[in-house]
Structure 1
């Protein structure tokens, strides 16, 4: 089975992915892994900006589903994967060509997500709530090469990630029961 996670910045995707890896034995895969590999080959630093620029360049050259298509090359039959960094509907559509793929959205309020972002304290992250909302707006507009909100709307399942990490893990556990993941 392949479970794809989609959500806004700091919506709990990593917490959910960690649950699938540590509790259910899934293998972790980020659509950004391919971008990281390409940046390293080019000798460029792996920054949010460089990842975004390369992703947009690849989408412009090969189509908006390119990162989903590259991910499919990585997956092996009979293995379970948890996939993050799905940012465009065409990436999700590429992954949906696998009959064992399921898309899950994670929801959390903007203010809670901003507080999580501040807590992780990454240098490249927005420093004010206004900057955070501006970045989110850019990432939700299809012209940026990313359309996260539209991709979230494609999900068959959702997880309420507005609470604590423990509460989110409980929600992920409930989803696993629904999906018959033991």
Structure 2
């Protein structure tokens, strides 16, 4: 059985680029951020408040609340990549339910800020101060522990073409793992 890939990294590190490559390998992507944005809209709040909603969900239902909202979306027999892991509790929750591999993606703060600013999604920071505040919030969720304890660490500071090649190699390795485990 294919392990579920759990992708962790600070905002703007390249998770979306990695996921695009995984889609080419036949994976289905589930974004925990999309689940938070759904919850934000359901509460009648603007998307810019999604960080606050994430904190509220975790206070109301536990630090792994978003993982629990994600699990029902996963169907057996399919290949999944989960985007948006924010802490080791979420990793543990997924590992209790599925064979999982954690891939951490790291990129310098300067590179990440530039990417987020260029991306311009509604909930992306528009100033350095907003960026640093968001980073502190993410670190407060325990994302640093999930990154530190990941099964695979990828560095994304050498351009998109290089990173895509690294992602393809990583996904090939996971495919090889799947092939040997199924025997």
Bin for the TM-score computed over the shorter chain: 0.7 to 0.9
Q: Distance in 1 between matches of 2:126 and 2:38?
A: 28
| Cα separation, partners in 2 of 1:12 and 1:31, compared to 1, 3 Å | same
Secondary structure of 2:82 counterpart: strand
Secondary structure of 2:85 counterpart: coil
Partner of 1:107: 106
Q: Distance in 1 between matches of 2:144 and 2:175?
A: 27
Secondary structure of 1:177 counterpart: helix
Aligned length in residues = 175
Alignment of 1:1-182 (within 5 A): 1-21=3-23, 23-47=24-48, 50-122=49-121, 124-141=123-140, 146-180=141-175
Q: 1:60-104 deviations in whole A, cap 9, x for unaligned? A: 121101111221111111001111111122111111113421110
Q: Distance in 1 between matches of 2:120 and 2:9?
A: 19
TM-score by length of 1: 0.86
| Cα separation, partners in 2 of 1:34 and 1:131, compared to 1, 3 Å | closer
CA RMSD in angstroms, aligned pairs only: 1.9
Secondary structure of 1:97 counterpart: helix
| Cα separation, partners in 2 of 1:100 and 1:169, compared to 1, 3 Å | same
Runs of 5+ consecutive residues of structure 1 not aligned to the other structure: none
Secondary structure of 1:111 counterpart: helix
The structure whose residues are more often helix, as a share, is: 2
Q: Distance in 2 between matches of 1:126 and 1:59?
A: 22
TM-score by length of 2: 0.86
Q: Distance in 1 between matches of 2:156 and 2:138?
A: 20
Q: Distance in 2 between matches of 1:157 and 1:3?
A: 11
Secondary structure of 1:3 counterpart: strand
Q: Distance in 2 between matches of 1:135 and 1:35?
A: 15
